Structure 1
Amino acid sequence: MQMIPLVLAVIVALEHYYILYLEMFQTTSTKAQQAFGLDKEFLSDERVQTLFKNQGLYNGFLATGILWGAFFASNSWAVVTFFISCVVVAAVYGGLTSSKSILLKQGVPAIITLVTLIIFR
């Protein structure tokens, strides 16, 4: 895999590990409140915490898939392209159903990465 898409893919993976960290381990923190636009009372609800931890796990799967594809898969381009495409789809869905900022914060880096994967194939 070429260097530019590789670096961008790693950045997208790191972003999703950070989201995992917020959703699974820092659910009620000030950073999580700011990132998700939700108040501490809401985030303290046990049901919300369960949902957030589940989402965090999925973000971890995306990040791990990207890194596995980038560094260990025999067809790294195909694997990374698949997982980055999953991030794009999730960001578009999140932007349409939850908050437009998701499209900007998660979608734009993934879309740029996807474009570079195609250009530098």
Structure 2
Amino acid sequence: MNIVTKVLAVLTALEFIYIFYLETVKTDSEKTAKTFGMETSTLKNPGMNVSMKNQGVYNLGIAALIITALLFAPGKLMIGCLMAYIVFVAAYGSMTVSKSIILKQGGLAILALISLLF
């Protein structure tokens, strides 16, 4: 795996850690509201708050899997599968929530997949 792919994979993991931070630690902050196109009052709703925190833990898990794959499975397969999964989820979010999700959540993963080809 080339250095560009590794850097893009690490950046993708950092992005998912940041998403975890917004969704789990700063759940009802202005920054979280702006990032996800929601009102802070909606994020303060107990049901939404718990859902955001659960989603944040999922995103932290994705970051952990990327880092684990980079450290212990240095081949292309695991990183390729993880990046493809991220692009798939981003595409789904793009179709169901906001078209910009494909680039916001999937952009780095798309670049990592492309770099795997070279």
TM range (shorter): over 0.9
User: Aligned residue for 1:81?
Assistant: 80
In the alignment, structure 1 residue 65 sits paired with structure 2 residue 54: no
What TM-score comes out, normalization by structure 1 length? 0.92
Equivalent position of 2:11 in the other structure:
11
Q: Is the 8 A contact 1:65 1:79 kept in 2?
A: no
Indicate the SS of the match to 1:100: coil
Letter in 2 for 1:20: F
Q: Percent identity?
A: 39
Amino acid corresponding to residue 62 of structure 2 in structure 1: L
1:109 aligns with 2:108: yes
Q: What is the root-mean-square deviation in Å for CA atoms of aligned residues?
A: 1.1
Give the drift of 1:34. Answer: 0.8
Question: Structure 1: any 5+ residue segments left out of the alignment?
Answer: none
**Cα separation, 2, equivalents of 1:24 and 1:78:** 30
Q: TM-score, normalised by structure 2?
A: 0.94
List structure 1 runs of 4+ shifted beyond 4 angstroms: none
Give, in angstroms, the shift of residue 21 of structure 1.
Answer: 0.7
Deviation of 1:107 (Å): 1.6
Aligned residues: 118
The residue aligned with 1:2 is: 2
Q: State the distance in 2 between where 1:76 and 1:34 align.
A: 37
Equivalent positions of 1:24-103 (< 5 A) are: 24-73=24-73, 75-103=74-102
* Distance in 1 between residues matched to 2:61 and 2:43, nearest whole Å: 23
Q: Conserved in 2, the CA contact under 8 Å of 1:21 and 1:56?
A: yes
